[in-house]
Amino acid sequence: LNEKGWVRALCSDNFLYIGVEMEDSDVVNQGRFHQSHLYKMGDTIELFFKPSTDTYYWEMYGSPQGLKTTFFYPSRSYVFLPESELPVPEFEVKTHIDGSFNNWQIEDKGWSIEFKLPLHTFEQYGAKFRTGEVWEFLIARQNYSRRLARKELSTVPPIAESDFHFIEQYGKVVIR
Question: Around Cβ 20, how many Cβ atoms within 10 Å?
Answer: 21
What is the pLDDT at residue 89?
Answer: 75
Which residue spans within 12-133 are E strands per DSSP? 15-23, 44-51, 57-62, 68-73, 92-98, 110-118
pLDDT at 142: 98
Q: Each residue of 69-94: pLDDT tens digit?
A: 999 999 999 998 998 888 777 899 99
What is the pLDDT at residue 1? 87
Nearest-angstrom CA–CA distance, 92 and 68: 8
pLDDT at residue number 173: 94
What is residue 56's predicted lDDT score, i.e. its pLDDT?
Answer: 95
For the whole prediction, is pTM greater than 0.85?
Answer: yes
Q: Are 176 and 131 in contact (CB under 8 A)?
A: yes
> How far is Cα 66 from Cα 74, in angstroms, rounded to an integer?
27
Q: What pLDDT sits at residue 176? A: 81
